[in-house]
Amino acid sequence: MMNQTLKPLYFAVPLAFEAHAIAQDQSQPTQRSYLKALAVYAVEFYLRCLGIGADFAQGDWRDPWMSKLIDVADVCLPQGKLECCVVLPNAEVLQISPDAWGDRIAYVAVQMDRSLKSATLLGFIPNPAIDLPLSQLRSIDQLPDFLSQFAQQNLPMNRSFINLRNWLEGAFETGWQSLESALEMNQLQAIAVRGEERHEISVRQAKLIDLASIWAIDRSCCRWQLR
Amino acid sequence: MELEDRSSFAEQLRQHVEEARAHPPRSLQRQKLLNQIVQEIFNSGRLGHPQQALWPPDLYEDLYNEALQKTLIEICQKIDKYNSEYPVMAWVNFRLNYQFVAVVQDYQRQGITQLPKGNKMAPVRLPSLENLPIAIPNSTEDAPQLQQFLRQDPEGLLQKQRLRDRPDVTFQMLAIAKFIEGKSWPQIAAELEVSAQTLCSFFNRQLRDLIPYFKKYLEA
């Protein structure tokens, strides 16, 4: 456990024309959607400073339909999504939208200044919690470490990192091959395949992993609706 | 005393910059140092304030923040170009001056292009928390239409999406519980005995793929 210094390490982000222009560039910004856009902007600023690559255009909140139906403020990194959580100036706890409980690697607390001329990254937590006191956040300067550990441990198996659409089109990620080519035909017959529903296409890819001379088969199934 | 503080701060900052440069871009070590460097610069109290007397204070703050933000990103991205003969803050302030002039030029050219068109001559005011333009969330407006769509599911696509380990749980069922009955994920999770995280992640992923379907029937 790191020794906490007396002055907590926050990360301040100045907000001006560009940030507000993005927040205003929504079809009908509500107070909440406006603040969420600023929070995402602040987190993106942090990531850009540190040179952490993110796909800023991919967030669900940027899709007008998604943002109308669910309350999220996500930023996509190669290893998964960060959720940017708005913290109002006088708040004492972190509120996480339940719509963002799934598929997140961390929740970053972004406190807005009353003037909306700056925001402060207060810290983060890896798992969703209800009304977590802000004092219990992990310090923002631990985020790079956290993200890199996450990448090392989970990257190869992380579902969100593997583009399932590519599989449907026959393009496989490195390290994956078709089930048929990974196994001899006689072995293939021995594999139990989960029943498939009529309206769905089942796509399977396989990866052979040599574990002390045991061949383990790692399968990942996805269902896809016919269009 | 003051002078000592000043020189030890400058020396510490210089060391951090030197260290950051010694690690390759995108390496964890460099990221951690950049995190630290940005905070040190921001909190240093040694940032310059170019042209401060020339602008009304409120507008100045916005112009300055825009320039400062661009400067901090530039410093991080071009840390390899730092010339260690000069103090780090001299370099930062030099770039800040340059960025400030660029921001002012943008502002004067078109009142900052990205901002909504209004009276070009009036200074652009950015809202504070108190005077945010508050639109009434429009989800209630098209609620009847949405409800009808979710219930009728004209092409049967909403019923087709099922939770892998609980095929009795369909996307449609969750959408009705959420959008029509107004239930929260914890409530729905308790009723179905499936974790809220599982439901939420299934729902969001499916929703993303179903958006074209929503649009087809709900976009006027």
A141 within a domain of the structure (yes/no)? yes
Mean pLDDT throughout B66-86?
Answer: 95
The shortest C-alpha distance from B69 to chain A (Å) reads: 6
CA distance A117 to B128: 8
Q: How far apart are the first and last CA of chain A?
A: 52
Answer whether B135 touches A (CB < 8 Å): yes
Mean pLDDT throughout B152-167?
Answer: 95
Same-domain status, A113 and A166: no
Answer whether A102 touches B (CB < 8 Å): yes
pLDDT value at residue B99? 97
Answer whether B26 touches A (CB < 8 Å): yes
pLDDT value at residue B3? 64
A95 within a domain of the structure (yes/no)? yes
Same-domain status, A44 and A66: yes
Same-domain status, A167 and A153: no
Same-domain status, A29 and A52: yes
Residues 142-161 of A with CB under 8 A from B: 143-145, 148
Task: Inform me whether the pLDDT recorded for B12 exceeds 90.
Answer: yes
φ and ψ of B163, to 5 deg:
-65, 130
Mean pLDDT throughout A104-114?
Answer: 97
Residues in chain A: 227
Domain C-terminal end among A158, A181, A215: A158
Instruction: Count CB atoms within 10 A of the CB of residue A153.
Output: 11
Same-domain status, A144 and A185: no
Task: Inform me whether the pLDDT recorded for A121 exceeds 50.
Answer: yes
Q: Would you place residue B121 in the very low, low, confident or very high pLDDT band (cuts 50, 70, 90)?
A: very low
Q: Containing domain of residue A135, as a range? A: 11-158
A5 within a domain of the structure (yes/no)? no
At which residue do the structure tokens 């001299």 appear?
A: B90
CA distance B57 to B77: 30
Task: Inform me whether the pLDDT recorded for B119 exceeds 60.
Answer: no
Same-domain status, A152 and A182: no
Higher per-residue pLDDT: A213 or A15: A15
> How many separate domains does chain A show?
2
Q: Are A68 and B138 in contact (CB under 8 A)?
A: yes
Same-domain status, A166 and A154: no
Domain C-terminal end among A124, A158, A192: A158
The shortest C-alpha distance from B36 to chain A (Å) reads: 8
Same-domain status, A151 and A73: yes
pLDDT value at residue B184? 93
Task: Inform me whether the pLDDT recorded for B18 exceeds 70.
Answer: yes
